[in-house]
Every structure is written in structure tokens, then in C-alpha cells.
């Protein structure tokens, strides 16, 4: 196993370098695509606002927000700076260091966000947040805190706040004669995964699926046990790793190494009926509905709360996704207005209308989400949308980027079983103690 794992890590590293070498920035004029055909103005009366995003075509929330903003600001045209998702942070880092004047920057990763803020590369938005009305501030449900720095400053505002929940394929449950899931404990979930696994080779259906992101194990463990991933102590990870490795080794979940080496996507596994259940973020809601409609998929699905250690409170996690204003922007006031719009109620309505959970969560916004055609309407889904605790992956602290790297690297080694769980946890603890200032 050791030999195989070292080959895997080498292959992944080579692939990352090739992806970086092949990556290029693609700029596209968004006006006709994302805006309205009404209220057209002469070109010399239009202000162009450039916004960097990742995977524009694959992430419909960007088009929805940009179109809504242009509809309300007919003299503004959004210029989309579209960057490959897997190279986004590297590209934005290079852009900011080189004085690029892109006005608004999508914040994909909290660690990178903190680095940009600490280098004085982002406009301080604290005053804009402090100027919110009491009602507006309350409607964020604490979701602004994902970008609060150690000095209680904000350099970005979120437009999305994820909620991790459990998706399930009703058809697989029906065929197995098993009741649909709800309010599961982890023990019940593990048994369910075993009961729903069937078939062999290409026809195999897994009881559950874990994608390769480390927070699916680590952030869940932290938030459900009252810990955090920046504490320097990680013994609380053991039970969660033992479970997912047990599911993998017993054949009830797809092998991690296979997922990595074949670049398997979580959407392809769920949408082709290869798994009965899958823990995934709420960003998948709208994407799943869109895929079903676009590809005419015969897929009956549902959503329930994420499994817990014991019955009672629902504890989960989810990271923020937002926008910041570059300090190199030539249109800082307009850029700030854009960020506030996307993060606020109007932007939230546009994002909710395509089936995604937002950082701003007024009753009106939640009503828009519930009204999306194809969205589940049962009580379990409604409960999943309102967990008792929806914590963070990493806090906006200077050490976040370094910790993120260590957690990801050691997660790989544990999951391909190059390290035991015990050794992996010791490595995480040791590396964070010695490598993180």
C-alpha cells in the first residue's frame, strides 16, 4: 500500500502542475449575457465594472447576481474575468501582486481572503457593514462573521453560506424497500450505507459517497464535537476518520484513491445512481435541479439533515462565498455598492431563485428558495435548511491558509491509508505546531 500511495501523491502533484501551466485567464463581456435587453444606454455613458469569478458557466449564481445588478443599474456593464476554478486563488494572488485593476474579486477561500486583507490588497468594508439596518444585520443570521478578522474588520461580504446536508436517491431506497432517511445518527447512517450497497464492478451501487474534500470529515467532526480546526488539538477527528475508512474498506463507499485518480465528480456519482446517499453542500441543490432539467434525468431525490452523534440538535457546517473590492480598483464606490447588493436581499433573491442558499436569509429570500420548481417540500428538507448549528470550516485568521494546506495534505495520506488515523492526527498536530506561526 505504501508504494501505491507514494505513486498516487506523485501523480496528483504532477497533475496540479500541468493544470497550472495550462491555465489561462479568460475575460468575457457579460452585458448581453447577464443583463436585461431594456434600458440600453450609449456606450460612452456606461461604466464598466470588472469582476473576477471562477467557472462562470458552471456557477449560475454569478450570472443571476450580475443580471439583477445590471437591471437595477442600467448605466453599469459587468465585465466578467473568468478564471479556472482549480487555479483561482493562485491567479488572484498574482493579479493583486501585479497591480491588476479588476474592481471586484470573488472570495473562494477563507485562507486566501485573510492573506489579501493582511497585505492591504482589499478595501475595508467594516463601515458598510456597520451601516446596515438592525433588520438587515439580523437577517444575515451571523453569516457575516465568516469574514470577520482578528481585529473585528471585514474586507469582504458573503453572498452564499453553505449548509452541508444529506442528499439521497429515493429510487434506490424504494427498490431496496427501505424507508427514506431522517434525523439519523452516525450509527444508523453506517448501517443504512451497508444495507443499500448492491451489485459488483460497473453495476455497483454504493450505500454512500464521500468526496475528496477534507472538511467533509474534519469540519464535520469539529462542529459536531464542539472543537475547531485551528485549535492545534485534533484527537476529535479519530472517530470520524475511522467511520469513513470503515465504509470504504467494507465496500460501502467508493475508494478515495479511485475518486482522486479518475477525477470522479460528486455530481456524476449521484446523478447516475451510483450512490444511495451523499453528504454535500447546499450549493448542489440548484445545480442538481438544473442538471435534471437540462439532461432529462429520471431521478427522484430528497434531502435530509446530516447525521449526528446522537438524536437532538442538528450540527453541521458550511463556508462563506463572497466578494471583496480590490484596493487597485478605479471604481471603489461602485464596486462597494455592487458587493453590498450581491450580499444583501436583492442579490440573495436572485441567488435563491436558482436554488442556492444565501448568506442573507430573510423570510422573503427563503420563500423564493422554497418556490423553485423541483425543490423538495417535505419537513426533512425544511429542517435541513435551518440547522441548530451551522459552523465554519476555518476562521478568518492569519494562519488559516497554512492550516488549510496541512489539513488537506494529511487528509490525503490518511484516506489512501499511507498513514494510520493515529499517525495522521499526530502529523497534523506536529506540523501545525512547528510550521504555523
- pLDDT (average), residues 127-136: 96
Q: How far apart are alpha carbons 274 and 232 in whole angstroms?
A: 37
pLDDT, tens only, 202-240: 899 999 999 999 999 999 999 999 999 999 999 999 999
Q: What stretch of H or E contains 270?
A: helix 266-271
pLDDT at 348 over 80: yes
Common-topology check for domains 20-162+319-361 and 164-317+396-435: yes
Helix (H, G, I), strand (E, B) or coil at 436: coil
Cβ pair 154, 255 in contact under 8 A: no
Confidence tier at 47 by pLDDT (50, 70, 90): very high
Rounded percentage of the chain residues whose pLDDT exceeds 70: 90
pLDDT of residue 45: 82
pLDDT band at 44 (very low <50, low <70, confident <90, very high): low
**End-to-end CA separation in angstroms for the chain:** 34
The per-residue pLDDT for 146 is 96
Element (H, E) at 82: strand 76-83
CATH number at 164-317+396-435 = 3.40.190.10
Strand 389-391 and strand 315-317: pairing? parallel
pLDDT tens readout for residues 411-435: 999 999 999 999 999 999 999 999 9
Tell me: pLDDT of 36 over 50. Answer: no
Alpha-carbon Rg for the chain, nearest whole angstrom, is 22
Domain assignments of the chain as residue spans, ordered by start: 20-162+319-361, 164-317+396-435
Q: Any bridge partners for residue 52, and if so which?
A: 81, 105
pLDDT of 142 over the 70 cut:
yes
The CATH architecture one would assign to domain 20-162+319-361 is: 3-Layer(aba) Sandwich (3.40)
Residue 416 and residue 418: Cα distance in Å, rounded? 6
The pLDDT of residue 29 is above 60: no
pLDDT (tens digit per residue) in 361-387: 999 999 999 999 999 999 999 999 999
Higher pLDDT, 437 or 408: 408
In the β-sheet with 301-304, what is the strand arrangement from edge to edge? 206-209, 275-281, 164-169, 301-304
pLDDT tens-digit readout, 145-199: 999 999 999 999 999 999 999 999 999 999 999 999 999 999 999 999 999 999 9
CB atoms near residue 251 (< 10 Å):
14
d(CA 78, CA 70): 7
Q: Are 349 and 273 in contact, with CB atoms under 8 Å apart?
A: no
* Mean pLDDT, the chain, whole residue set: 91
Residue 58: per-residue pLDDT? 87
Q: Which residue has the higher pLDDT, 255 or 3?
A: 255
Amino acid at each position: 500500500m505504501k508504494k501505491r500511495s507514494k505513486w498516487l501523491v506523485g501523480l496528483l502533484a504532477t497533475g496540479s502542475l500541468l493544470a497550472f501551466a495550462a491555465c489561462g485567464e479568460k475575460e468575457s463581456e457579460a452585458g448581453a449575457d447577464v443583463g436585461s435587453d431594456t434600458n440600453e444606454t450609449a456606450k460612452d455613458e456606461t461604466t464598466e465594472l470588472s469582476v473576477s469569478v471562477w467557472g462562470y458557466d458552471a456557477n449560475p449564481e454569478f450570472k443571476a447576481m450580475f443580471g439583477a445588478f445590471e437591471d437595477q443599474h442600467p448605466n453599469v456593464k459587468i465585465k466578467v474575468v473568468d478564471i479556472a476554478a482549480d487555479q483561482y486563488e493562485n491567479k488572484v494572488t498574482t493579479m493583486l501582486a501585479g497591480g491588476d485593476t479588476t474592481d471586484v474579486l470573488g472570495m473562494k477561500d477563507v485562507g486566501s481572503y485573510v492573506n489579501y486583507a493582511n497585505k492591504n490588497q482589499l478595501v475595508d468594508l467594516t463601515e458598510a457593514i456597520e451601516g446596515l439596518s438592525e433588520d438587515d444585520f439580523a437577517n444575515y443570521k451571523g453569516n457575516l462573521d465568516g469574514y470577520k478578522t482578528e481585529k473585528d474588520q471585514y474586507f469582504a461580504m458573503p453572498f452564499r453560506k453553505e449548509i452541508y446536508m444529506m442528499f439521497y436517491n429515493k429510487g434506490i431506497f424504494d427498490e431496496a424497500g427501505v424507508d427514506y432517511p431522517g434525523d439519523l445518527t452516525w450509527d444508523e447512517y453506517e448501517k443504512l450505507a451497508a444495507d443499500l450497497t448492491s451489485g459488483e464492478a460497473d453495476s455497483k451501487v454504493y450505500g454512500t459517497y464521500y468526496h475528496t474534500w477534507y472538511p467533509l470529515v474534519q469540519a464535520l467532526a469539529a462542529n459536531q464535537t464542539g472543537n475547531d480546526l485551528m485549535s492545534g488539538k485534533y484527537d476529535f477527528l479519530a472517530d470520524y476518520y475511522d467511520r469513513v475508512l470503515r465504509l470504504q474498506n467494507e465496500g460501502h463507499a467508493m475508494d478515495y484513491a479511485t475518486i482522486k485518480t479518475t477525477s470522479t465528480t460528486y455530481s456524476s456519482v449521484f446523478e447516475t445512481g451510483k450512490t444511495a446517499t451523499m453528504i454535500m453542500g447546499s450549493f448542489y441543490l440548484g445545480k442538481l435541479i438544473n442538471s435534471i432539467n437540462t439532461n432529462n434525468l429520471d431521478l427522484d431525490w430528497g434531502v435530509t439533515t446530516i447525521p449526528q452523534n446522537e438524536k437532538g440538535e442538528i450540527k453541521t457546517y458550511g463556508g462563506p462565498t463572497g466578494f471583496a473590492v480590490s484596493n487597485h480598483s478605479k471604481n471603489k464606490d461602485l464596486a462597494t455598492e455592487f458587493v453590498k447588493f450581491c450580499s444583501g436581499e436583492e442579490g440573495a433573491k436572485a441567488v435563491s431563485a436558482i436554488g442556492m442558499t444565501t448568506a442573507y436569509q430573510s423570510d422573503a429570500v427563503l420563500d423564493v428558495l422554497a418556490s423553485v420548481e423541483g425543490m423538495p417540500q417535505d419537513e426533512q428538507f425544511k429542517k435541513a435548511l435551518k440547522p441548530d448549528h451551522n459552523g465554519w470550516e476555518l476562521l478568518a485568521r492569519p494562519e488559516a491558509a497554512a492550516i488549510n494546506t496541512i489539513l488537506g495534505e494529511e487528509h490525503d495520506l490518511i484516506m489512501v491509508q499511507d498513514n494510520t488515523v493515529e499517525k495522521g492526527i499526530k502529523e497534523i498536530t506536529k506540523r501545525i505546531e512547528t510550521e504555523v506561526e
